[in-house]
Amino acid sequence: MRIFRIAGAAIAVFAWLYGFNRFQVFYYQEQFQLFRADALYLRTFLSQPGGLAGYAGAFLTQFFVILPVGALIYTIVLEVLRRSFYKVLAGFITGGALFFISLVPVALLLIPIVQIQSNIASVIGLLCTLPAFLLYRRANARWRYAAGAGLMLAVFFAAAAHVWVLAALIAIHEWFGRRGPSRYPGVALPTALSLLIPWAAQQWVYTAPIDTSFYACLAWWSVPAIYLLCCLQGPRIAEYFRRRPQVGIALSILCLAATLAHVVSKYDRTTETILHIDYEIRHGRYDRALDIKARTSSDSRHVLYLANIALLETGRMPDEMFRFRQAGPAGLFLDRNGSYFSYIYLGEIYYRLGLMGAARHCAYESMVAWSQKPNAQTLAQLARIALVEGDFAVCDKYLRSFEGALFYRSWAGEQRRFLDERRRNPAFIPPHIPAPVAGLENFFINYNAPEAMMKKILEADSLHRKAFEYLMAFYLLSKDVESAKGLMDRYYAGLGYSALPASFEEAMLVYENAVGQPHTYIISANARQRFSQYLRAAQSGANRNWMQQHYGDTYWFYLHYVQPVPLQTSSESNRY
């Protein structure tokens, strides 16, 4: 029976993490670190309290690169935690109630775990604390103070603020385990040490502020709280649950259900979708990315932006961009607000268009904006950019970091072969890396003026189809049909389209109709007929929903019914 309970709980945790939070937990966390097996990397963790737990967390997180393995690791770690707590409570509670009560910290931990910036190190920290307390309980009564002090010291260095949980457990244990005045030192000592150790460490050992490694979370405090409850009313609870086991089980289930409801209410579907599309795009699976976009009801700008990149990469942008609900130029370029995500995603389009100066800048800024250590995502991007830009020494430097990482060694080896080939043959461009725009005139990058930068790309390379299509999309979404027509006049003929793509065709019909001037583009009879029908429907006063249902995939509908979201411009400030 017990094994089924454990298996059931483990499967539930696994399914929840893997099924619903796969990308914002495993993909995100793996990408946002780069675990290296060298002493210098270890030292970066040990320079702050809780470094060992952080290092262990980073070690485990590297396996998240295989997403189901990540879910499995989390499930195992949580089960070990439950088991440790089970042992802590075993003297007070027995039977089925013990199993469910020992699940409470695990259930509470699920809340912070699925938040995007969580870290498995916090679970490991708690995992260090419970065995330390079990050891303390087993210590010889004569030496228990010394053992407690030693364990608290060890837990502080290994798991930082978890020392407070240990101090609370020891104090509770001492208070209820002894009688008379002899119990006072047992409470006073861990309390004093829990304050003294962090203070002294900050004075003489670490420079990091005390709160940097305090993985604060509510779940911690459930451990001493439940333990206190058991110490206070343990025998009664045990007896009560022995007589009425169904009450204990019902209460536990209620508690777990409440937790689950809370977890579900906190579920960040949009972030999960963004990261899922991002994941597919980075793996070159653009059609899957577009499928996700088609399925989601999210209006997120990031989702739209990434979907537009996928459209561009598949070559379907001019034909299909209006099959997705477009929001304006803001769905083509992102704003720069100094955050990690704003930079890493802002740079993605420039990378794919070969404007490597902007792509490098964005990747670099995102690496710096990420307050943790350099991560796999930005470093890999910087290595690829350095490779095609001919910054071989920088590329070599970045690749060295990957060569010390278990899951990136082979990738780094491949990139190093490309690097050698590129050194031998400057014309060589590695597969899956966009070529930098050739012959580009130098200018200062201005993210407030993407149109000007796209024009520069086309001036340097008039056959740059992606740049042409993206700039056309920009004009169409800006409702600037004249500029779109001008761009077509200048570049369309040389780009070898077999037929006028749907959105261009629709834009030219608008041009004809609105400006009243002829153009040379061949428009299909089907498009003309549909446009006539559209105009008739619009003039007849058809409502927006009807129009959207019948013409929502056209530029005409976007032009008449959608209020475009403009780009936000960022202002420059004094550097000092």
Partner 1 sequence: MRTSILSLLLLLVILAGCSPSGRHTLSHRSAEIYPGYAGTVIPYNIAPLNFAIREGATKYRVRFIAGADSFSISCRQTVDIPLLKWRKLLAAHRGERLIVRISARRPGGWETFSDLLFTISPEAIDPYLAYRLIEPGYTTWGKMGLYQRNLENFDEQPIVTNDLVDDACINCHSFRQNDPSTMLFHVRKVNPGTVFLRDGQLSRVNTQTANMISAGVYPRWHPGGRYVAFSTNTTRQNFHSVHTNKVEVYDMASDIVVYDTQTNRIFSAPQLNSPNHFETFPEWSPDGAYLYYCTAPARPMPAQYDSLRYDLARLRFDADAARFASAADTLVRASLTGQSVALARVSPDNRFVVFCLSHFGTFPIWHRENDLYILRLSDGTVRPMTEINSPESDSYHSFSSNGRWLVFSSRRADGAYTRPYISYLDPNGTPSPPFLLPQKNPEFYDLSFKSFNIPELITGPVDVSPTRFARAVRNPSLRQAQ
- Give 284 or 338: the residue with its C-beta nearer to partner 1: 338
Q: In angstroms, what is the minimal distance from the CB of 72 to partner 1?
A: 30
In contact, 375 and 35? CB cutoff 8 Å: no
Interacting residues toward partner 1 by CB under 8 A: 36, 38-41, 202-203, 207-209, 212, 338, 343, 355-358, 360-361, 364-365, 367-371, 374, 391, 393-394, 396-397, 400-401, 404, 436-437, 440-445, 453, 456, 572, 574-576
Distance CA 525, CA 345 (A): 40
Residue type, 82: R
Q: In angstroms, what is the minimal distance from the CB of 195 to partner 1?
A: 16
Q: In angstroms, what is the minimal distance from the CB of 258 to partner 1?
A: 37
In contact, 556 and 505? CB cutoff 8 Å: no
In contact, 281 and 30? CB cutoff 8 Å: no
- Give 203 or 297: the residue with its C-beta nearer to partner 1: 203
- Give 207 or 297: the residue with its C-beta nearer to partner 1: 207
The radius of gyration of the chain's CA atoms, rounded to the nearest angstrom, is 30
Q: Both tokens of residue 82?
A: 């439950």
- Give 442 or 498: the residue with its C-beta nearer to partner 1: 442
- Give 280 or 365: the residue with its C-beta nearer to partner 1: 365
Half-sphere exposure of 151 (CA within 13 A, CB side): 27
Q: In angstroms, what is the minimal distance from the CB of 357 to partner 1?
A: 4
- Give 281 or 399: the residue with its C-beta nearer to partner 1: 399
Q: In angstroms, what is the minimal distance from the CB of 123 to partner 1?
A: 24
Q: Both tokens of residue 475?
A: 């004009």
- Give 371 or 526: the residue with its C-beta nearer to partner 1: 371
Q: In angstroms, what is the minimal distance from the CB of 436 to partner 1?
A: 8
Three-class HEC string of 316-379: CHHHHHHHCCCCCHHHCCCCCCCCHHHHHHHHHHHHHHCCHHHHHHHHHHHHHHCCCCCCHHHH
In contact, 156 and 201? CB cutoff 8 Å: yes
Q: In angstroms, what is the minimal distance from the CB of 246 to partner 1?
A: 52
344 backbone dihedrals φ, ψ, rounded to 5°: -65, -35
Q: Both tokens of residue 420?
A: 């050698």
Distance CA 210, CA 125 (A): 16
For residue 561, give Cα distances in angstroms to 326, 541, 557. 11, 13, 6
Residue from 379, 342, 390 nearest 362 by CA: 342
- Give 387 or 547: the residue with its C-beta nearer to partner 1: 387
Distance CA 234, CA 452 (A): 72
Residue from 15, 225, 216 nearest 122 by CA: 216
- Give 38 or 299: the residue with its C-beta nearer to partner 1: 38
Q: In angstroms, what is the minimal distance from the CB of 415 to partner 1?
A: 16
In contact, 334 and 346? CB cutoff 8 Å: yes
- Give 442 or 539: the residue with its C-beta nearer to partner 1: 442
Q: In angstroms, what is the minimal distance from the CB of 392 to partner 1?
A: 9
In contact, 407 and 62? CB cutoff 8 Å: yes
Q: In angstroms, what is the minimal distance from the CB of 324 to partner 1?
A: 30
